[in-house]
Amino acid sequence: MKTTYRAMQVTRPGVLELVERSVAMPGNGEVLIAIEACGICGADVADIENVDPSLQPPRVPGHEVVGRIVAMGANIPSIWKVGQRVGVGRLGGHCNECAQCRQGQFHLCRNQPFVGSSCDGGYAEMMLARATGLVSIPNGLDSVEAAPILCAGVATFNALRKCGAQAGDTVAILGIGGLGHMALQYAHRMGFRVIAIGRGSNIAEDVLDLGAHFYIDTNDEEAVSRFKGMGGAKAIVSTVGHAGILTSLISGLEPQGRLVLLGAGKEPLQILTGHLVVGERDVIGSIVGTPYDSERALDFSVLAHVRPRIEVMPLKQANDAYQKMKSGDVKFRMVLEVAGRKDTS
């Protein structure tokens, strides 16, 4: 095994620098992963732009990581083996001690790191990870395909599972980007009547191809009126945090309908309480999920032929890839390829 590895670290806010680091051996409950691919997520913006300059060594971002275990510390469960292909998402591994863990709510653990933010992530050739955060990657998914499913995939997959709709019901997906394009595919294959709500005619053909039955372009029409005219929806899954349109769209929810929030905005969401009470409507938030949830999302993706639409760039071009993602000039997800692809069939 090599004694050093390359990493893209945040040397100052907004700037990634390619550096050589020494390989650290995994400690108790940790594994060392040789990374094959890492997705670039919108959440990386805060990690890269708002980094603490005093942090030493500087942080390595990235939380959609796929690679292979090359070394293991003590007390690793027997389900994990050297050479096994695994993934790590935003949640870096639960503690098994806090109140939430004792209730089995591992995704709400109070003591787990946020990968790429409070611990080093996957814009690198190597990464240490807690065994409790590991996800098994199924055969049939290339590493660059699997990477975005560890964030955008499981987040939308879980949101749809929580939305309360049943096959044949109408579900609206608000925001057609990195998360939304996955949500459309999952929703279609789960048997929902799918309304996509986004911005711009340039994605209209893609949206319908991804599984939407109808597309509402907020740049070209009054979205709320069109939405209500189509009968509204049993559920709305929002991947954006724009409070204004969310407030308006809630009025199009069916009685006992549910708004599921994935996008976290800075503006408060204003809701008429009477609208919730009279129709028994719900508003809930949803975070990505446990490693087991991620495995279900990955397995469903293989079973139902759901794949992220990606653009791939090498690790050394992480700055360019990050800037392209940040500009919105990506359909629909950017992935760094760190090592050569291997046959996963």
For the chain, the structural domain boundaries read: 4-136+309-337, 153-285
Region 280-305: what's the mean pLDDT?
A: 96
CB 295 within 8 A of CB 135: yes
Beta strands 85-88 and 65-72, pairing class: antiparallel
Structure confidence at residue 280 (pLDDT): 93
Structure confidence at residue 41 (pLDDT): 95
50 or 297: which carries more pLDDT confidence? 297
Query: pLDDT tier at 340 (50, 70, 90 boundaries)?
Result: low
Q: Around Cβ 97, how many Cβ atoms within 10 Å?
A: 11
**CATH architecture, domain 153-285:** 3-Layer(aba) Sandwich (3.40)
Global pTM value: 0.94
Residue 134 has pLDDT above 50, yes or no: yes
Structure confidence at residue 345 (pLDDT): 40
Region 39-47: what's the mean pLDDT?
A: 94
Structure confidence at residue 275 (pLDDT): 83
Average pLDDT, the chain: 94
Residue 341 has pLDDT above 70, yes or no: no
First-last CA distance in the chain: 26
Which residue, among 1, 143, 142, 7, has the nearest Cα to 72 in the 3D structure? 1
Q: How far apart are CA 336 and CA 321, in angstroms?
A: 8
Mean pLDDT lowest among 26-35, 58-67, 133-142, 324-333: 324-333
Region 101-110: what's the mean pLDDT?
A: 96
Amino acid 10 reads: V
Structure confidence at residue 241 (pLDDT): 81
For 182-211, what is each residue's pLDDT tens digit? 999 999 999 999 999 999 899 999 999 999
For 142-159, what is each residue's pLDDT tens digit? 999 999 999 999 999 999
**CATH architecture, domain 4-136+309-337:** Alpha-Beta Complex (3.90)
